Structure 1
Amino acid sequence: MFVLSNAWRAMMRSKGRTALTAIIALVVTFGTVAGLAIVQENHTAHTDDYDVQKATLAIRPSAAAWKKVSPSDSASTKHYMTWTDYTEYATIIQQAGVTLDFTVTETVPARVSGDLKAVSGDKLGSASDDKTGGQLIWRAFWTKDAASASDLGTFKIVSGKNLSYNNQSSNPDTTGALVSSAFAKANNLKVGSKFKVAAASDASTTAELTVRGIYEYTAAADADNPVVTARNRENAIFTNYQTFAKAGLDPQTGDSSVSGWQVPDLNVVFNVTDSASYKKLVATFKKSKLPASGYTVSSPSLEAYVQSLKSMDAVAANVKTSTIVLLAVGGVLLLALVLVGVWGPKRDDEIGMALVSGVSRGRLGWQFMLEVFFTTLPFYVIGLVGGIFATKPLAAALFTGHEVTASSSLIWNMVWGGLGTILVLAILAALRLAFFRADKLFAADGDWGSVSETETIEADSNDDAEAKA
């Protein structure tokens, strides 16, 4: 009880230093937990999480090859990838022993029909629909994965519902379409509204569609394809394959009579399970001297994932630096406050008085250690718990797309690291007693007043003489 009460009184005598020590311990712990959790998640996102991402593989014309394709020259569609081209890649993939499936996107231009109008802002200029095939983009997705890999950019449904991709249905949806929010507003379309579009090859051939949903883009478009970038992507109409085929827009494989804008821009995307399989296939293609000149192999899903990390990368870089500075400055301040608390001149008097009173150095050392524990340990625990629970909402406020939580390994590292640091500070405080010299008990300052034995005798003699006089 003596040690506890003395430790408490010592802390209360220096309330400012005690409060500052507690605040620093809390802030350093809280900031370190949150900072390290973000840095750790960023590292994991680039390594372990990246490795298990669902990887897609696409073979598409390169930027140089796309320059040969003109949005106003239907003959340039000969540069599109064909089923024959993709079959060559599929054969190599099968020979490599990689298990996968694939999905398809087909795109053709389309014309407005009746009162329908395109959203302004396209780059087709004054070229006629006969030359360009129309200002609209009709894109058919075979599956939801195909929609996710669209080079027009990912999108979200803001009204209505998404397309039906049930290819096994005996009664598939063959009229439902998705239109952009801008296109719907320009044409006063709502979910359930019907509208007609005309084929690129023949303005008199029309197809009636029903607005199934309205979408908005959530990512930028791939600017390489001059055909789709020349047309405002807000004019893109999305349907499933059945709707596209019913409109007669999907020619039979090998049909040589199909030419011009009737030739769909075919985009086959292979689902290759994970990044390791993707890398294996890329290496296999290189051995087979593929892709041919003018084409590139890419992974839309992995590229989208890496793109989603950019905001977290920027935050993690700043947080990493801030955490290092916080630990360094906080550690130095805590060490300084602990040393000042036990090395001050007033503590010399306190130590001397205690030793003269019979208190052992061991008990005094334990008292000094308790002072450190009382001012740091409770606030370290508060900072640790607060940091663990605040990390997720704090990270969500800094960037989106990735959930950050303090892992069990990080928590245990913080527990042992923090307790170890506090113990070291407490030991340094206790070592103050080892450096206290006994001669300070008779130092010539304070209430101890110390003089030599000779001076003491002389003073006593003078006092006696004065008394007799």
Structure 2
Amino acid sequence: MLVGLLLAAWSVFGTAVLNTCRTALGADYDSIAPQVTIRPSAETLKERAGDDADWTKHYVSWETYNEIGLAAQQANVQFQYSVTTSVPVREDSSFKAITDDHTSDASQDKTGGDFTLVGVFNDVAAQANEMGTWKIVEGENLSYDDVSEPTAIISKQLADANGTKVGDKITVAKPTVAKATCTFKVTGIYEYVTNPNDAPGTDAEFAKDDRDNALYTTYYDFAGYGLDSTDAKGWAIPDVNVIFTLNSPADFEKFKAAIKDVLPEGDTVTSPNLDAYLKSLVPLERLAELTRIILICAWAIGGAILLALTLWQVLPRSSEIGYDLAIGVTRPRVARQFSLESLFLTVPALAIGLLIGAFATNPLVGMLGAGHDIAMDAGVVWKVAWIGLLCCLALAIVAIVRVACYRTAHMLRSHYLNNAD
């Protein structure tokens, strides 16, 4: 009974894990709307120098983005787009960037500033932010429709370092003109909830690249200070990041093929949300692969053990079968008795195993660190239940066959004579 119980419980667990993994890599993956960005490749980023404004030659211009969009449309790839754009901005005496012993001491004349000011077009752009998505811990998030006054949100670390509170105003200066200042009202304080996407974290060489030194404002306010100029020079050139939202992962492959000829050298096409989704599935895929192997072994070994136990139960009972037949019990009735004895052991074990598997799957997956909830629906349980009942029936048939194969001549065999006698 214990073998059947464990086999049923693991079958429910394994089937649920495999089904969830299959769905995650199939229907769920196909339903994702990829957010696509065109950014410098890892090899290109190795050449980046935060104190050399010549690096801005690697920025993708609006003209190039227009060519990319046209190429995609000609390939019948439908998309929507959003945008973030950023420039370094200078600190002043009243509002300082976060630095540590590892931060470069290059002057703001070289770096353009110790902060990065990011203009965000809408929530889609915020979710695709390459420095990570954030949550507001104090105050309110950016209001993209409010144009009453320039506003910004700052990191909790930056707020704590400067003693800045919601409602305070901060002033920064433009990257190439120290006397040209921009003032923002702090409406919120944020903390990051995801890791950066191919962007520096808090261990950056330059203060402006430390993501806690990022100041987020709306695209309207960013442009209102003239920071979206198309004829700027040096660090005043805005780093435009257009986020293309496609309909499906299949369209992502078509998009990459369509823009291949107009893709700037040194840049790469990526989908951060697709990459993040696939990365999140790695623990689940590993668990599914391990579960598949264990399931095969469990079914093979467990089935063999159950068959052996059934045979061990019915094979030595020749005398009992002979006695029953001798006193007038019909062979079908004896066979039914043997089959019921088998079913009374296997069916309850199956039922208990199904319950244990159904309720223990998600806690067990959590302990194994798969990082995903397992879809435990009735279909999984019923699938295992029907297969389990067929196995129970098969073992009962083995017991019936044992009775059917009993030879009546054995009833006359004496235990005191050998076959030669």
- Judge same fold: TM > 0.5, yes or no: yes
Choose the corresponding residue for 2:308, options 319, 336, 339. 336
Structure 2 partner of 1:87: 66
Structure 2 partner of 1:209: 185
Q: Return the alpha-carbon distance in structure 2 between the equivalents of residues 151 and 350 of structure 1.
A: 77
Q: Return the alpha-carbon distance in structure 1 between the equivalents of residues 64 and 204 of structure 2.
A: 21
Structure 1 partner of 2:151: 176
Instruction: Trace 1:293-332 onto structure 2 (pairs within 5 A).
Output: 293-332=265-304
Choose the corresponding residue for 2:221, options 243, 247, 250. 243
User: After the TM superposition, which of the residue ranges 89-98 and 125-134 deviates more from structure 2?
Assistant: 89-98
Instruction: Trace 1:27-426 onto structure 2 (pairs within 5 A).
Output: 27-121=6-100, 124-166=103-145, 171-172=146-147, 174-204=149-179, 205-223=181-199, 230=206, 231-251=209-229, 253=230, 255=231, 258-286=232-260, 289-344=261-316, 347-399=317-369, 402-407=372-377, 409-426=379-396
Q: Return the alpha-carbon distance in structure 1 between the equivalents of residues 101 and 288 of structure 2.
A: 39
Q: Percent identity?
A: 37
Q: Check conservation: 1:199, 1:206, Cα contact below 8 A.
A: yes
Relative to structure 1, the CA distance from residue 121 to residue 407 in structure 2 (aligned partners, 3 Å threshold; closer, same or farther) is: farther
Relative to structure 1, the CA distance from residue 360 to residue 271 in structure 2 (aligned partners, 3 Å threshold; closer, same or farther) is: same
Q: Return the alpha-carbon distance in structure 2 between the equivalents of residues 235 and 197 of structure 1.
A: 12
User: After the TM superposition, which of the residue ranges 358-367 and 195-204 deviates more from structure 2?
Assistant: 195-204
Relative to structure 1, the CA distance from residue 127 to residue 185 in structure 2 (aligned partners, 3 Å threshold; closer, same or farther) is: same
Q: Check conservation: 2:200, 2:211, Cα contact below 8 A.
A: no
Q: Return the alpha-carbon distance in structure 1 between the equivalents of residues 91 and 195 of structure 2.
A: 26
Relative to structure 1, the CA distance from residue 451 to residue 302 in structure 2 (aligned partners, 3 Å threshold; closer, same or farther) is: closer
1:324 is matched by which residue type in structure 2?
I
User: After the TM superposition, which of the residue ranges 192-201 and 348-357 deviates more from structure 2?
Assistant: 192-201
* Alpha-carbon shift at residue 291 of structure 1 (Å): 1.6
* Alpha-carbon shift at residue 261 of structure 1 (Å): 1.2
CA deviation profile, 1:181-222 (whole Å, cap 9, x unmatched): 322332334444443333322333242331413222322441
Relative to structure 1, the CA distance from residue 174 to residue 74 in structure 2 (aligned partners, 3 Å threshold; closer, same or farther) is: farther
CA deviation profile, 1:255-303 (whole Å, cap 9, x unmatched): 3xx11111111111111121122222222223xx232322222222211
Q: Check conservation: 1:70, 1:76, Cα contact below 8 A.
A: yes
CA deviation profile, 1:287-341 (whole Å, cap 9, x unmatched): xx23232222222221121122122222222222222232222222222221111
Relative to structure 1, the CA distance from residue 314 to residue 129 in structure 2 (aligned partners, 3 Å threshold; closer, same or farther) is: same
Structure 2 partner of 1:465: none
Structure 2 partner of 1:5: none
Provide runs of 4+ in structure 1 moved above 6 Å.
none
* Alpha-carbon shift at residue 229 of structure 1 (Å): 6.9
User: After the TM superposition, which of the residue ranges 124-133 and 78-87 deviates more from structure 2?
Assistant: 124-133
2:87 is matched by which residue type in structure 1?
V
Q: Tell me how many residue pairs correspond in the alignment.
A: 415
Q: Return the alpha-carbon distance in structure 1 between the equivalents of residues 22 and 56 of structure 2.
A: 43
Q: Alignment RMSD, CA only?
A: 2.7
Q: Which consecutive unaligned segments of at least 5 residues does structure 2 have?
A: none
Q: Return the alpha-carbon distance in structure 1 between the equivalents of residues 71 and 105 of structure 2.
A: 45
- Give the 3-state SS of the residue equivalent to 2:262 in structure 1: coil
2:115 is matched by which residue type in structure 1?
L
Q: Return the alpha-carbon distance in structure 1 between the equivalents of residues 122 and 101 of structure 2.
A: 28
- Give the 3-state SS of the residue equivalent to 1:113 in structure 2: coil
- Give the 3-state SS of the residue equivalent to 1:244 in structure 2: helix
